[in-house]
Amino acid sequence: MDSSLIFTIGNALRTWLEGLCRAHGVPTLVVDILAWGTGAVLVVVLGLLVALFVIWLERKVAGYIQTRLGPTRVGPVGIFQTAMDALKILQKEDIIPRGADYWLHLAGPVLYFTALVLGFAVIPWDVKATLAATVDLNVGLIYVIGVTSVGVLGVVMSGWGSNNKWSLLGAMRAAAQIISYDVPLLLALICVVMVAGTLSLTRIVELQGSAGILGWYVFKPYLWLPFIIFVICGTAEVNRTPFDIPEAESELVAGFHTEYSGMKFALFFLTEFDHMWFVGLLGATLFLGGWYSPLGAADPIPGFVWLMIKSFIFVLVLQWFRWTLPRLRVDQLMGLAWKFLIPAGFVALAIVCVAVLFI
Amino acid sequence: METRSDLRTEELLINMGPQHPSTHGVLRLVLTIDGERVVQAVPHIGYLHSSMEKIAEAKTYRQYMPFADRYDYLNAMGNELAYVRAVEKLCGIEVTPRCEYIRVIMAEMNRIASHLVYFGTLGLDTGSWSPFLYCFREREAIIQLFEDTSGQRLLYHYFRIGGLRNDLPSHFCDKLAEFLDYFPARINEYNDLLTNNIIFQRRMQGIGYLSPELCRRYSVTGPNIRGAGIPYDIRRVVGYSVYPELEFDIPTRPEGDAYARHLVRVEEMRQSVRILKQCLEKLPEGEINVKVPRRLKPVVGEVYERVESPRGELACYLISDGSEKPWRLHWRAPSFYNLQVLPELLKGAYVADTVAILGSIDIVLPDVDR
């Protein structure tokens, strides 16, 4: 079925509902808030559902890498396992340790989750005519970097508010790590922006798609270095092995979420896996041509599906990293960022400068 | 308003364990840390103390056998070997050649199993999950053979004073030969996964430096001292049982760091394979048990019998007062001595190195506390 049909129906429904509300004298502001809010809720729900799927996928991938099967019991190939886990964790007692700062302890996971979800707002899902980004900001990329960086505040809040030294250590590591890796990540993204000449994510995708599959930025040799930097920094941003030192299980017990249980813990957990998908979406948008099909314009598969496939390639690569590599030490992690990735980022920037000028 | 001079830093006292995912049991380390650096580490032991030595005074020599399994649970066969050898020396019992060979086969298989657990858990300590499951896959093959032989998977109670519980099952030698054929290739696989990984190497090299001098001062033994370049192995130094008849190398590394100890253990697995292959070739036919009096009453005296456990020099010290029960039994447990050196190794290390160094020393907590 053509995806645009679904989206057309959706749009028609929306127009009809808006008209209905207006006709009954609902103020325009409320109608707007409702309309935008529906979109936002849909994106959040999609994010949570995908997070559940990513967790299941992770367990399956881990299983096959480790010569076992992963979940098999709940539903076909264990697909409902994580849904059941989520239901279970909802019933768990919410434990706040003695001496913890109640508000910080509460605000930590909420902020962590919110910061990530805000980032989804500007991801362009499909061609403008069918399902555009929830918001098409002309400074989309800056917005993404801005809001997702706020998440580290949530980590620091929960680490400090937990009244646990392991949490504090984990939070300090997380802060140092995310701030360090934001710099090379930004350098890599600036390269993309220089080539595209725009900060709008939708526009970046459109520019890539205009020249067929070879127009995708990942196929431009002068963007290979930024792409590699992006993948490494993306892994570090989502705190995954080999960069999972903020929650290094064997060292810090569970890092900043040691003292969390129940739904607060689930928020951390879901956010982490959602974040992985988000990095995949960002990578697919910036380097892999977003919603465009590699088969050309005649491809019947909707762009949204292609975006999902591309983002899940990133997710699978990150999972493959995790189950293969050991963890770096904290000083090596910093060394990698400041001594290698940042200089490499500047080199990439120089290369892209030359390329943009002369090609 | 605060001035900058009001800002101060202080050292943080932090409890690592007894409940901690990587202290390999219930070890408690009190760490004083300055940021990510360890200033001081004090191990607190005793959480698993179970009076293993005192119990011996209330049991006859035979009754104590199952207890010998239980303190270093990763090396149950090796413990039994130390104990039966001590008692047999005390009573002047000579066991049959077949029995000696089977005992060595069991001890070496257990050494491989123990090193596999070490390998896997070191992977966990350094954040790499997969080696653990691969190692346990191979360990399972060994455990299955143990189960077929003794009926038990962890605490075998297979050795008896003057012999063994039963002879090997009929398929044992073929199964073991099959395992020995594919196992060296599997070690290469693990090395590709962990040992040769650049991240792992960078993490393990240069940390937890153990000098030969330090080894002597703390009487560190086993792969730890061999990782510091000293070829000290009881199998060669004392040459007990049939080891003098077997060809094998004592792997050593000069570096003395955690990575050197790791390489020594990996190489030891290969050497154990060599030993096992020879044992299978040389395994003589014949009886496995010799006649031992029903009431075992050794003469008054004492013995100190040493064997090489996967963790180092394991010795059983027995004093007999001529009665049916030992007057005193003491285990020279290698983990206990190796753990003593930990505070020296942890000084100035990173918090992340703490678990890696602890893993590289390879202690078993019940062996420490007994």
Predicted confidence (pLDDT) at residue A130 exceeds the cutoff of 60: no
Predicted confidence (pLDDT) at residue A1 exceeds the cutoff of 60: no
Determine contact: B352 vs chain A, CB below 8 A.
yes
Using a CB-CB cut-off of 8 Å, the residues of chain B touching A258 are none
Residue in B closest to A329 by C-alpha? B352
Per-residue pLDDT tens for B203-223? 888 888 888 888 888 888 889
Per-residue pLDDT tens for A178-211? 888 888 988 888 888 888 888 888 888 888 877 7
- Identify whether A35 is part of a domain: no
Q: Compute the nearest-CA separation of A220 from chain B (Å).
A: 29
Q: What is the pLDDT of residue B264?
A: 92
Per-residue pLDDT tens for B96-136? 989 989 999 999 999 999 999 999 888 888 888 888 889 89
- Identify whether A47 is part of a domain: no
Instruction: Kindly state the helix (H) or strand (E) to which residue B163 belongs, with its residue range.
Output: strand B163-164
Per-residue pLDDT tens for A322-357? 888 888 888 888 888 889 899 999 998 898 888 888
Contact between chains at B199 and A325 (C-beta distance less than 8 A): yes
Determine contact: A253 vs chain B, CB below 8 A.
yes
Q: Compute the nearest-CA separation of A86 from chain B (Å).
A: 24
Determine contact: A325 vs chain B, CB below 8 A.
yes
Residue in A closest to B190 by C-alpha? A324
| Average pLDDT of the segment spanning A287-316 | 81
Determine contact: A327 vs chain B, CB below 8 A.
yes
Contact between chains at B202 and A332 (C-beta distance less than 8 A): yes
Question: Which structural domains are found in chain B, ordered by start?
Answer: 12-369 (1.10.645.10)
Determine contact: B195 vs chain A, CB below 8 A.
no
- Identify whether A33 is part of a domain: no
Interface test with A, best of B130, B138, B197, B353 (most A CBs within 10 A): B130
Q: Which of A19-23, A135-139, B223-227, B307-311 has the lowest mean pLDDT?
A: A135-139
| Average pLDDT of the segment spanning B354-360 | 87
Round to whole Å and give the CA distance between B32 and B4. 25
- Identify whether A236 is part of a domain: yes
Using a CB-CB cut-off of 8 Å, the residues of chain B touching A165 are 12, 14
Predicted confidence (pLDDT) at residue A297 exceeds the cutoff of 80: no
Contact between chains at B355 and A241 (C-beta distance less than 8 A): no
Determine contact: A340 vs chain B, CB below 8 A.
no
Cβ-nearest to B133 among A67, A165, A250: A67
Per-residue pLDDT tens for B131-188? 888 989 889 999 999 999 988 888 888 888 888 888 888 888 898 999 999 999 989 9
Determine contact: A330 vs chain B, CB below 8 A.
yes
3-state secondary structure chain A: CCHHHHHHHHHHHHHHHHHHHHHCCCCHHHHHHHHHHHHHHHHHHHHHHHHHHHHHHHHHHHHHHCCCCCCCCCCHHHCCHHHHHHHHHHCCCCCCCCCCCHHHHHHHHHHHHHHHHHHHHHCCCCCCCCCCCCCCCCCHHHHHHHHHHHHHHHHHHHHHHCCCHHHHHHHHHHHHHHHHHHHHHHHHHHHHHHHHCCCCHHHHHHHHHCCCHHHCHHHCHHHHHHHHHHHHHHHHHCCCCCCCHHHCHHHHCCHHHCCCCHHHHHHHHHHHHHHHHHHHHHHHHHCCCCCCCCCCCCCCCCHHHHHHHHHHHHHHHHHHHHHHCCCCCHHHHHHHHHHHHHHHHHHHHHHHHHHHHHC
Q: Compute the nearest-CA separation of A68 from chain B (Å).
A: 9
A17 vs B33, residue with greater confidence: B33
Determine contact: A242 vs chain B, CB below 8 A.
yes
Q: What is the pLDDT of residue A249?
A: 64
Predicted confidence (pLDDT) at residue A2 exceeds the cutoff of 80: no
Contact between chains at A329 and B352 (C-beta distance less than 8 A): yes
Contact between chains at A241 and B128 (C-beta distance less than 8 A): yes
Number of domains, chain A = 1
Contact between chains at A66 and B133 (C-beta distance less than 8 A): yes
Using a CB-CB cut-off of 8 Å, the residues of chain A touching B126 are 250, 326-327
Q: What is the pLDDT of residue A4?
A: 60
Cβ-nearest to A248 among B14, B127, B129: B127
Using a CB-CB cut-off of 8 Å, the residues of chain B touching A62 are 129
Q: What is the pLDDT of residue B143?
A: 92
- Identify whether A49 is part of a domain: no
- Identify whether A266 is part of a domain: yes
Q: Compute the nearest-CA separation of A322 from chain B (Å).
A: 8
Domain that holds residue A162: 92-358
Spatial contact of A201 and A139, defined as CB atoms under 8 Å apart? no
Round to whole Å and give the CA distance between A252 and A168. 10
Determine contact: B348 vs chain A, CB below 8 A.
no
Q: Compute the nearest-CA separation of B297 from chain A (Å).
A: 49
B229 vs B19, residue with greater confidence: B229
- % residues pLDDT > 70 (chain A): 92
| Average pLDDT of the segment spanning B86-101 | 89
Per-residue pLDDT tens for B53-70? 888 888 888 888 888 888
Per-residue pLDDT tens for B267-325? 999 999 999 999 888 888 888 888 888 888 888 889 998 999 898 889 999 998 888 88
Contact between chains at A326 and B194 (C-beta distance less than 8 A): yes
- Identify whether A82 is part of a domain: no
A177-207 b/e with 16+ CB inside 10 Å = b? bbebbbebbbbbbbbbbebbebbbbbbbbbb
- Identify whether A87 is part of a domain: no
Determine contact: B139 vs chain A, CB below 8 A.
no
